[in-house]
Structures are given as C-alpha cells and as structure tokens.
Amino acid sequence: MGIWQKFTDIAAGAAAFFVEHEHEQKPGRRVDDAGFATALIALGAKLAKADGLVTAEEITAFREVFSAPKSAQNDVARLFNLFRQTTLGYESYAKRIARKFRCCPCILEDILDGLFHIARADGRVTDEEEDFLRHVADIFGFSSREYRRIRASRLGREPDDPYLILGIDETIRDEDIKKAYRRMAAANHPDRIIARGLPAEMQGLASKKMAMINLAYEKILAERGLAA
C-alpha cells in the first residue's frame, strides 16, 4: 500500500482544497498535487460503489490504503462520501493518474494493487468490480497479460488461466513455452491413459483435458505473437 501512504502529506491539503473549490474542478484541468490526490480518493470511492453497495469493509480497506493524517481525515471522508454516490466519471480520474505517472508503471501498479485490496475487502470481487479494475488497468497502459499477473497476486489465478493449465509461470521465455507444452501434452495424452488400462470414463476426461491444454497453448502463442 506504499503509494497511497507516500502521498499522505499531499492529501492533507488536497481534500479540503477540493471541497472548498469543487465548482472549479473541470475535466482536462492540469494535474497538480491536489488533483492527483483527489483522483486517488475518487478511484477508491467509485470502485467501492462499482457493485452497487459500499460496505463497511470496503470503507475500512480504503482507509488502510489511503492512510490520511488526523488533520485531513474529515476532509478525506467528506470527499470519499461525495464520490461514492456513483461510478460515473471514474475513467477521467484514472486518466489523470495515468498521465502523471505514465513513465512510472511501478507506481501505477501500486495504485492498482491498492484498488484490488478495496475490491476484495468484503470477501469477493464482483463482475462489476472486475470490469472497473480491468478498465482502469487498460487506462494505465497495462496489457491483458500484465493485468492477469497483477490480479493473480491479489486474487490467485483463474481456473482457465492458460499459464496455470500448462503449469508454467507468465515470466517463462518464449523459447521454453513449446518445451513446457510438449511435456504437459506427453503426460496427459489419451493414448497414455489407454495404455495404462484405465476405464473409458478416464479416457474421456483425458481427451477433454488434452483439448484444454491445446487451447491454452494456442492462447499463449497468440498472446505473444508466436507461430505454432
């Protein structure tokens, strides 16, 4: 959660500034420190609203990742309550942050990590929250592959993750992917099941698993722009 805490001092004055000058905030305005802190608060609040209900757990999680000093907590809370009313406009705040840190993807990843912490605070990440996070990641410039990696660090891998199916890590080198596929295919080929004398039910499962392995391999090759 470091990135949120690094800007605690900025937030101390930013929230109060925004509340006092809300009518002056305009789309496309130059991103200054107050605007940046405001955008962080807005993203956290609007993510909490993404599934339609802002829970106490999400509010607590927001406070954990955006740990404001006592002198600013009331203003940050007022700003959070203002933004939590709707998810509308979250893209513009994500774009402000992306512009400010377009040369520092590690900071953008820290921010996305904080948003995941808020999303999972109530025990599950809904489809609406997932869509929100995926869109923010896209605005931040992360590829689908990078998004899955960041997501996996917080939520674990999805059952249909092609890398999980092949039993490899996303950092694997291109030249090693075919070797990994061949090992997995050899170990799970239906002919081996038949050779071991296992029942027909197992042979059917083996065929389905082999199809999953082939599809996962094709997805990875397509994602990396590699030839079969």
Residues 82-141: pLDDT tens digits?
A: 999 999 999 999 999 999 888 888 778 888 888 998 999 988 899 999 999 999 999 999
User: Distance (Å, rounded) from C-alpha 52 to C-alpha 29?
Assistant: 29
24, exposed or middle or buried, with CB in 10 Å at 0-12, 13-18, 19+?
A: exposed
The model's pTM: 0.66
**162 in Cβ contact with 217 (< 8 Å):** yes
Q: pLDDT tens, 50-65? A: 999 899 999 998 888 7
Q: Domains in the chain, please, with CATH?
A: 2-155 (1.10.3680), 162-224 (1.10.287.110)
- Cβ neighbour number for residue 145 with a 10 Å cutoff: 12
